[in-house]
Structure 1
Amino acid sequence: MKHTFRALLLGAALLTAAAPQAVAQSAAAPFPYPIEQSSLPNGLKVVTVPYDSPGLASFFLVVRAGSRDEVEAGKTGFAHFFEHVMFRGTDKYSKEKYDEVLKSLGAAANANTSLDRTVYHMTGNARMLEKMFEVEADRFQNLKYSEHDFKTEAGAVKGEYTKNSASPYQQLYEKTVSTAFEKHTYAHTTMGFFQDVVDMPNQYEYSKVFFDRFYRPEYTTLLVVGDVKAAEVNQLAQKYFAGWKRGSYVPNMPVEPEQTATRYAHVQKASFPPMLSLNYKGPAFSDQTKDLAALDILTTMLFAENSALYQQLVVKEQKVRFVGGGANNTRDPNLISVQASVVKADDVPYVKQRLTQALEDVKNKPLDARKLADTKSALKYGLLTSLDSPDRIANTLAEYIWLTGDAQSLNRYLALYDQVTAADVQAVAKKYFVPEHLTVGTIGPNATGGVQ
């Protein structure tokens, strides 16, 4: 469950405005590679990370529009829909010609959508970087699809929804978020509400409105990682994206009212592994405050495989197949989720009691200083040691780009781990793990989950 970016100037003035503005990065910055950022006058942000990957580069376009931005009733699922339709082609590059270009690049291209963003990505021959720019700029600015194409893709989206919703885990996720949120758009999943997906084939005209709103330079960041130089990336960005017109749409995001009592979501399913999830209202992502970093540390200390709770429930008592969880990193306040796959449905109340007691203990009992230090180090450097390819580096930076619009946010957030104290961990436990802000999700054989 845990798992997301206006007037145009031309000529010499544009050349100056689009010049790279390398962000100062101290020698102590956690991220080990240079991050060079610039922007075009139309609002497009450009991020370059030179990396020693001879002949190879990853090209990402991060669109800061996901299911979160679907604020109109009856119009959910369109962010995910465009993940599909963006591969339908343009007048210049049909779908077939686009595929031919990918082959010539030795590239694989794909896209994915989440709550806060849609990301388009390819990795291929760095010597053919300009061709990457050409084909991606063309489809972002000149996408063309007929009503027939639209209905075909809408049908594919419905099929994907139906396939995914067959899973009781997906059913529980949908019920949990729609129960936890009354007003905010996090109440629907990335796929959207089913009734909206069913009606999507009738929404051809609205699809063009959605594209016109969000596929604009001010919502987008271009990220290139690999065997490249920032000067070349910026020159190509200017050449292929400078003519992209800025838009003016800003969604009116609903504010979620404070939850005042525990809520429950249940999926009745016999002969399926019982499931328990505890979902507390949490904070929005921030690289300026310590709450999320402290929550990362807290949930890792409690639920990692070497934790006392994991050893008791999974290894010793064998009442649970796995337990884990953490806070969701999202632009608006979301859920801190803890999940446990329980062996026997009769043990769900006991497991819930043990999980909630462990969270209560953090509020009052001293934390082990050595374990706190080790957890902070593991979180920080575990991420950094995974950055061993252009694609992985780009994927990691893309998250912070869609969360804040600034790739340097990664460095600021990682630095917060060093600042978190035992008192900070206890403070976030007291602040967020309260029953009034809890939604309990369960899968089990009976009409209720046995914990109400």
Structure 2
Amino acid sequence: MDYQLNDVTRHRLGNGFTVITREDHSVPIVTSMIWYRVGSRLELPGITGISHLLEHMMFKGTRRYAKGEIDYITTRHGGANNAFTSRDYTAYYFTFASDRWHPALEIEADRMESAAFDSEEFELERQVVLEELRMDLDSPWGALRQAVEWAAFQRHPYRYPIIGTIEDVSDVTVEELQEHYRSFYAPNNSTLVLVGDFREDEVIKQVEAVFGRIPARDIPTPDVTAEPEQREETRVELRRTSHVPRLLWAFPAPSVHDQGHYAIEMIDKLLSEGKLARLYRRLVEEERVMSSVMTEFDETQDPFLFFIRGELQPDVDVVQVEQLVAAEIDRLLDGPLPDSELRRARNQCLSQFLADFETPLDQAAQLGLFETLRGFEYWNSYVGRIESVSADEIRAAANKYLRPKGSTKGILINEQSSGAEPHAPEA
């Protein structure tokens, strides 16, 4: 297959601001999305969650736009806006009709240069974030995931929730938030992605006029502590009110810069994508010990985790389920990998890859993610790399990453059952 993006261009302004453009005249829409290379990965103990809290404050006004005006302008022009914070980045986007999208540039430039930090608004947003955190900890999956990630990492900042800890969010000051903003929100630490119904030459002139005057800054390079190899299995048992037990088994996983990343993507599909997937077929249909099972694998700057998660049927022995999951992993190591199964997994990877590129918003999100983590040219190599993953590479990746020793196993059981309460990430 030949899937090449020959119509995507990269421009870099004199202040280091990167602009990625792709004309798409199929619909009269333009999406603008700005990506800052800062997330929870660059947060120290004491200020965890500060990137996410800053994201909230970026909608609370700037020197030019009063509180609520950004959302008002978006609504008045019939558009949409939103934002999200990850471990490795923070992103903001607008989608407008192509005859009225230009306010997005002015808003993003003003947010980059002169966001307002009203103390009353800051306290209100702090409470909003704390409520989000409490809701996450009150949910079975949220509590279990936080406990597992906390246990899986001992040194790397990935151990902390993106949203932060209750203690840190409660104690962070508006001055610390401003310092975080001044450190990382700069043209030379960000990428603007524009996709939609416009002319590239005109757009670049507009971007230059709006963003080109913003000075570059010295961006700090925090020393991110590498995580030592985990050599033994860690077990976390969490007790909560729950009608069914839950399993969240985390294995070390490669970063986007590791060639093993592609084999793990294939394993992700082999194990849990669709009703023919190995875990679903064995645990849900044949043994009937789980009502649902899935895998999760995020793209991250540093090595993170590959999750197997699911809900057990009532009164099923957790140990039995663990043994069945382990048996399916062993089959990846030692059993046959039929061509038909590999072909299905490849097709699932490629179908998802292409489906994630349908709308202007989809395209802006994918191009921004690629550019932020490894360069948008990744698109042009992805198909070939997935198609070249062999059965031997899958076995090698499973042998390297999906070993019980070195994994973190999280079990959530009904609070009336026996089990040791783990140390939750409160600080």
Determine if the TM-score, normalized by the shorter chain, exceeds 0.5: yes
2:400 counterpart residue number: 431
Runs of 4+ with deviation above 3 angstroms: none
Q: CA deviation at 1:29?
A: 5.0
Residue from 176, 187, 209 that aligns with 1:217: 187
Q: CA deviation at 1:386?
A: 4.4
Q: Give, as a single letter, the amino acid of the residue that structure 1 aligns with 2:72.
A: E
Q: Give, as a single letter, the amino acid of the residue that structure 2 aligns with 1:245.
A: P
Aligned pair 1:344/2:328, yes or no? no
Q: How does 1:36-435 map to 2 (within 5 A)?
A: 36-70=9-43, 72-200=44-172, 203-248=173-218, 249-286=220-257, 289-304=258-273, 305-404=275-374, 406-435=375-404
1:21 counterpart residue number: none
Q: Give, as a single letter, the amino acid of the residue that structure 1 aligns with 2:206.
A: L
Q: CA deviation at 1:119?
A: 1.0
- Residues 396-429 of structure 1: CA deviation (Å, up to 9, x unaligned): 223223322x222233233310111111111101
Which whole-Å CA distance do the structure 1 matches of 2:244 and 2:373 have between them? 34
Which whole-Å CA distance do the structure 1 matches of 2:276 and 2:175 have between them? 54
Which whole-Å CA distance do the structure 2 matches of 1:67 and 1:353 have between them? 34
Q: CA deviation at 1:99?
A: 2.8
Q: Give, as a single letter, the amino acid of the residue that structure 1 aligns with 2:140.
A: P
Q: Residue 345 of structure 1 contacts residue 444 of structure 1 at CA under 8 Å; is this kept in 2?
A: no
Closer, same or farther: CA 270–81 of 1 in aligned 2, 3 Å:
closer
Q: Residue 168 of structure 1 contacts residue 267 of structure 1 at CA under 8 Å; is this kept in 2?
A: no
Name the SS for the 2:100 alignment partner.
Answer: helix
- Residues 269-327 of structure 1: CA deviation (Å, up to 9, x unaligned): 244321112111111112xx531111111221122321243123212332111111143
Closer, same or farther: CA 190–309 of 1 in aligned 2, 3 Å:
closer
Q: Where do 5+ consecutive residues of structure 1 fail to align? A: 1-27
CA RMSD of aligned residues (A): 1.9
Q: Residue 77 of structure 1 contacts residue 193 of structure 1 at CA under 8 Å; is this kept in 2?
A: yes
Closer, same or farther: CA 345–31 of 1 in aligned 2, 3 Å:
farther
Name the SS for the 1:36 alignment partner.
Answer: strand
Q: CA deviation at 1:191?
A: 0.8
Q: Once structures 1 and 2 are overlaid, which stretch shifts more, 262-271 or 327-336? A: 262-271
Which whole-Å CA distance do the structure 1 matches of 2:276 and 2:372 have between them? 32
Task: Report percent identity of matched pairs.
Answer: 26
Q: CA deviation at 1:113?
A: 1.0
Which whole-Å CA distance do the structure 2 matches of 1:80 and 1:148 have between them? 18
Q: CA deviation at 1:155?
A: 1.8
Closer, same or farther: CA 37–29 of 1 in aligned 2, 3 Å:
farther
- Residues 60-119 of structure 1: CA deviation (Å, up to 9, x unaligned): 01112111110x221111110011100111222112332332133211111111111111
Name the SS for the 2:271 alignment partner.
Answer: helix
Which whole-Å CA distance do the structure 1 matches of 2:67 and 2:100 have between them? 19
Which whole-Å CA distance do the structure 2 matches of 1:438 and 1:275 have between them? 17
User: Normalised by the size of structure 2, how large is the TM-score?
Assistant: 0.93
Q: Residue 42 of structure 1 contacts residue 246 of structure 1 at CA under 8 Å; is this kept in 2?
A: yes
2:8 counterpart residue number: 35
Which whole-Å CA distance do the structure 2 matches of 1:422 and 1:211 have between them? 46
Which whole-Å CA distance do the structure 2 matches of 1:243 and 1:345 have between them? 65
Aligned residues: 417
Name the SS for the 1:116 alignment partner.
Answer: coil
Closer, same or farther: CA 414–399 of 1 in aligned 2, 3 Å:
farther
Q: Residue 63 of structure 1 contacts residue 117 of structure 1 at CA under 8 Å; is this kept in 2?
A: yes
Which whole-Å CA distance do the structure 2 matches of 1:283 and 1:386 have between them? 22
Q: Residue 362 of structure 1 contacts residue 426 of structure 1 at CA under 8 Å; is this kept in 2?
A: yes
Closer, same or farther: CA 143–342 of 1 in aligned 2, 3 Å:
same
Name the SS for the 1:437 alignment partner.
Answer: coil
2:412 counterpart residue number: 443
Q: Residue 356 of structure 2 contacts residue 366 of structure 2 at CA under 8 Å; is this kept in 1?
A: no
Q: Residue 269 of structure 2 contacts residue 348 of structure 2 at CA under 8 Å; is this kept in 1?
A: no
Q: Residue 177 of structure 1 contacts residue 186 of structure 1 at CA under 8 Å; is this kept in 2?
A: yes
